[in-house]
Amino acid sequence: MLNFVGGSATSKPGAPTIGTATATGPTTATVAYTAPVSNGGSTITSYTATSSPGGITGTISQAGSGTITFTGLTAATNYTFTVTATNVIGTSAASAASNSIKTRTVTTFTGTTSWTAPAGVTSVNYLIVAAGGVGGNYGGAGAGGVFEGTLAVSPGTAYTVTIGAGGYKFGTFPQNGGATSFGSVTATGGGAGSQNGEQGSGAAPPQNGGSGGAGVGNSGTGIAGQGFRGGYNGNAYGYTTGGGGGGGSGVGGTNAGNPFGNNGGNGLLSYITGTGTYYGGGGAGGNYGNQYQNPGGAGGGGMGRYSGTSATQDGAVNTGGGGGGNRGGSQGGSGGSGLLIISY
């Protein structure tokens, strides 16, 4: 029953009725509630849920029933929640405690190993990242293939995890990055950048891969669902500037005749850990005779080299980033190694 005295609120609201709490990620959850029968004579302005343990709070500003979203929780932790209602007089007593939830467990693999599915776990979400390729003496390297998905697993069964090694400088030609695999799932290594203008003695075209390597007049292709093609400068076989390597979510930079902007393609933005992070950035193209260093793609892509004193950058470790292109002469930066992250 609502309580009125002279049309004014006379009390705090009644306690809300707790609903279902649901873990939605390693650091997030939702808590449903039903508005109390009595609002104390004045419209309820907000509801606040509080976690146990931790005392973390989430608030929603509305009068009626709803769902409160939580962030900032700790992965692999058991929680219950209570909810209070607030009007102009004050805050209600807390509801009963919710059902217990466990936030998702996140495991990161940076080296080859095996993983055994725990009891009760029948599926996992994953982010799989292959290694990036080596940059060429102009073209930036493609990032390793990167994608997310869900894999059915059997409790007690061991699954092999192989992490791709970054493409490295070996012999005459740049090398592609290594593949990363998890059970039946495989991401393909990034394509190497072109070498020596793609024609003539000692030359090599940009390579195909999870994301394609870049060149001067050509570009390698990526694999659908894993990455994108590399870029090229647009001056066919001109010895000035290489395109940017392809990334996990975008093509490598291509600027016809223009050395500026041949950036690596951006990587894939993932929230599997609870925090948005890019993986699989393409390496930037190098250029000769221009004082500008093109940036690698978001997600570990290496910067390209220009004619000044800049150094070609490697792709970042455990991101699948492609190596940056050089300014002529030797090969560019090495590729970044791969990665696997699972959540259950």
CA distances, 124 to each of 2, 72, 114, 344 (Å): 48, 22, 15, 5
The gap between the terminal CA atoms of the chain, to the nearest Å, is 45
Average of per-residue pLDDT across 25-49: 96
Would you place residue 171 in the very low, low, confident or very high pLDDT band (cuts 50, 70, 90)?
A: low
Is the separation of the CB atoms in 266 and 249 below 8 Å? yes
How far apart, in whole angstroms, are the C-alpha atoms of residue 34 and residue 318? 45
Residue 3 burial (CB < 10 Å; 0-12/13-18/19+)? Answer: middle
Q: Which two tokens stand for residue 73?
A: 């929780």
User: Would you state the pLDDT for residue 7?
Assistant: 41
Percent of the chain with pLDDT strictly greater than 70: 86
Half-sphere exposure of 121 (CA within 13 A, CB side): 22
- For the entire predicted model, the pTM comes to 0.85
- pLDDT at residue 5, as a whole number: 35
Place of tokens 């998890």: 182
Q: Are 242 and 218 in contact (CB under 8 A)?
A: no
Residue 336 pLDDT > 80: yes
- The DSSP letter of residue 198 is G
Asked if pLDDT for residue 1 goes beyond 50, the answer is no
pLDDT tens for each residue of 242-254: 778 888 888 877 6
Residue 72 in this model has a pLDDT that exceeds 70: yes
pLDDT at position 4 is 41
Pairing of β 158-162 and β 146-152: unpaired
Calculated CA dihedral for residues 249, 252, 256, 258, nearest 10 degrees? 110
Length of the chain: 344
Calculate mean pLDDT across residues 76-90: 97
Give the pLDDT score at 6: 36
Is pLDDT at 201 greater than 90 in this prediction? Answer: no
CB 69 within 8 A of CB 56: no
pLDDT-based confidence at 237, cuts 50/70/90? very low
Confidence (pLDDT) at 16 = 98
Residue 226 DSSP class: T
pLDDT at 273: 93
Mean pLDDT for the chain overall: 88
At 137 the pLDDT is 81
Assign 132 a pLDDT band (cuts: 50, 70, 90): very high
- Round to whole Å and give the CA distance between 116 and 236: 51
Contacts of 165 (CB under 8 A, 6+ apart): 131, 177, 178, 337, 338
Q: pLDDT at position 2, please?
A: 43
Tens-digit pLDDT profile for residues 278-308: 999 999 888 776 567 788 999 999 988 876 6
pLDDT of residue 199 exceeding 60? no
